[in-house]
Structure 1
Amino acid sequence: MMGNWQWNTMTDTVKWSQNLYTVFELDETITNLNFDTYLGFVHPEDKEIVNQYFDKAIKDKKLNSFTHRIITTSGKLKTIHILGEVHTNEKGEIVEMVGTSQDVTDIKMAEKKFRGLLESAPDAMVIVNDKGTIQLINKQSEKLFGYTLEELIDKPVEILIPTRFYPKHTKNRNSFFNTPITRVMGNGKDLYALKKNGDEIPIQISLSPLHTEEGLLVSAAIRDITKRKLAEQKINEAKENLELVAQKLSSQNKQLADFTHITSHNLRAPVANLNSLLEIYDQSETDLDRTDIFGKFKTVIQHLTLTLNTLVDALKTKIGDSGEDLEEIDLGNVLEHTKEILSGAILNSGAIIKNDFSKVSTIRYKRVYMESIFLNLVGNAIKYKSEDRIPEIRITSELENGNIVLKFHDNGLGIDLEQHGHKLFGLNKVFHRHPDAKGVGLFLTKTQIEAMNGVISASSKVNVGTTFTINFD
């Protein structure tokens, strides 16, 4: 499939070897050969580039490797590959060119078929030799990385890899050439490629060995998985949101169960009391007895009305939209408003109220809830003061793990949490003998805080004081 030739440029005479006659399918008896004889076999579309090639060879006095098409005497289309050298005389004049012409038609057909397969691949394909030099890429690679074929051929493959992956890449490449089997690269790990514009993209790579006459090559099929990563992120976010919703629903179900228990417990007793009074009223024989019982009716009905109103307010809080009516509230202003409402109780008790809102001075919240929280907690601190000392109330704000925390500390009577802790925030639960104690304030405060996804807790020592801590979500 290879023949040699000799062209005397001074006399324009050409000599071909027997193999070259066979390649061109020319009768060996024809010996009167010249450059035009050869040019007559060149494919019409390649004649211009062939002339340019030899003109350049004459100018540079050098023959470079060159491939073009010919049409044989029988009409066959072939591709030949030319190698040669230029000989000059003492004056530097070209006197001769000699070289070889090889029939590479089958090789080119195979290359064309391989190129077709490469271009039909849905992924970017990059073929690299054992030195890590890029030998071939397809159009998908040009589209993915932003480079042209000419910009990548014979360049180190590291041009497509972020620098932080260099050490592992070299190790993995050597490992592959030592054990060349088809495999997925970086299975279970995040891999990234580097585009021409400097952007990094998440990728998936499959490696396959290619055994060629030039040695072992590796074919890397590279897939951009940016959309898949985004989809996975959305799925994870949706999963987290579902978990939050499930937790919220679970919490709301628990609150509803607690609320149902409180409602049934606090309504059943007064209704039963009314039924008993009604039965006694029917059995009473004198007007005096009936008048006395009627007075008890009034007391029980007032208590029932208070309970119903409290439960209705709590229910409104629980089912209200926590996202409505939110505003940026100044904690100092809320405290001043609270002091104005409780001014009489503060004067009578001599209460000292201190605050430190230097770490957090404002909060986005429902104003009606925040004012109610301050009013109940400050009011309770004054109401349940110790007779042995002047009441002191200290209110502070701070940030813990990104959440706002409010603390209400007093030096009042304190609460025995071991005995009463489980019912501290229950409706109508009182822990001290006080004429104004109704057990409503803490219940409503807890309801309002939890409606906004917050948490309230208490620490207390009897005859020392109590601290209420509110964590706002």
Structure 2
Amino acid sequence: MKTKQVRVQNTIEIVEDGRDVVWAMDKDFLLTTFNHSFREKFKEELGSEPQVGMNLRPIYKESIFFSSCTKGCERALNSNATTAKHTVDQSGTTRVNEFAFQPYMDKSGAIMGCCIWQKDVTQEVENIQRLEESEKKYGEVQEITNVGHWSWDMLKNEITWSDQLFSIFGQVPGQFEATYEALMEIIHPEDRQLFNEDVERCIKKNVMHDIVHRIVINEGEVRYVHQKGKAYYDEEKKPYRVSGTTQDVTKDVQANQQIVQQNNELQNFVRIISHNLRGPISNLLMLSKIYEWGKDEENDDIVRKIENTTEALDQTIKDLNLSLSMKNTDKERFRQVRLAEVIKDVDVLLSEEVSKTQAVIRTDFSQVESILGLKSYFVNIFYNLIMNSIKYQQEGLSPLITIFSQKVEDGVILSISDNGIGIELTPEKERKIFDMYGRLSGATDGKGLGLYLVKTQVEAMDGKISVQSTKGDGTTFTLHFPK
């Protein structure tokens, strides 16, 4: 018995400098040994010094801190080592304590007493709660966005799915074993090769796995998913894991397909209407040419109005056909276009206007000298934007037009600025400026088709156009083209 007591005493001395509260008692609940933390906690709770040999039963009943010890010790004395968590409020702060009750025995195996170890686990509990809360929120985000997370262990050929991913793939957790082969069975047969090639490219070239493909679930239902992932490598640069996300994009894909179909139908409708109207319009214009003018003033006036209306309708149809042809540009015709050569052609076209207004055009293409696209489109774009700057010059001030190119991270920017009259630009006005027959200002003649054609040609070359303007302080058009 003495040997056992020494062993318990030595064990407690090991944690003498720690914050954990450790003590031991015999089977009659008499205190046999304790560490410094027990002494401090005892004094804090009961206001007196603990004494070896004192009965701990009344202490356990009186103290809030030790209140869970009676049952724990009784279980330990009955050969059942156990742990228990006990929450107490101290000065308005909630602390969580974990008590471990371990019986100790003599050489014959007879229980001699119990060793109790208390540890403050408040921080661990809070961390677990934060982790659970974070996982809960992450699950909610996945459910709301319909995005699931996955991780593929390539060495074990095991795929771990989040709960939302099971929902996306129409599977039940616990009933479906996620492996690469099982995933391939869900992917649409026509998309499997492309999917495999994208995964292999991701692993071999260390690039993002990024693909939209079809899956077949629920006995024939077809869905579209967007897979994105990244490969991870060990110290020898061998791939061992790929992880990423999967989002159900079925609604987006179907909506885009519907838009494309409606757009095609609209274009066909415009072509049919244009074709059917071409004959009657030509006949009306021809009749106006052979009409004998001057015999009847009233009839002359009526025929002139018919002629003007017919010519306007004819021009509108030509504009529509021109717009459609631009939107269907064959990108295989794109070539590197030198911006200096574009400006040279524009100078020829605008020589008269530039001379008449004494306009000054300054260019700086030092950052980007050439750009991919169609030269004829860039000539028309610069022509229209420079012409606008000349049209909307300030009275008594020669137009100063500045054009420069700029290389940015995701592409190229072309900027055309002037010192013209400018306008008070609202988001609604900015949108309408680029509409067909939109106008930058009502102060000049013109149909306003120029900026619409500019926008159409910019977008046909995968670019975007925006405008900034301040009344009395000029206008800047910014063209952004991707790499």
Same fold (TM over 0.5): no
Q: TM-score, normalised by structure 1?
A: 0.44
Looking at CA atoms only, which structure, 1 or 2, has the larger radius of gyration? 1
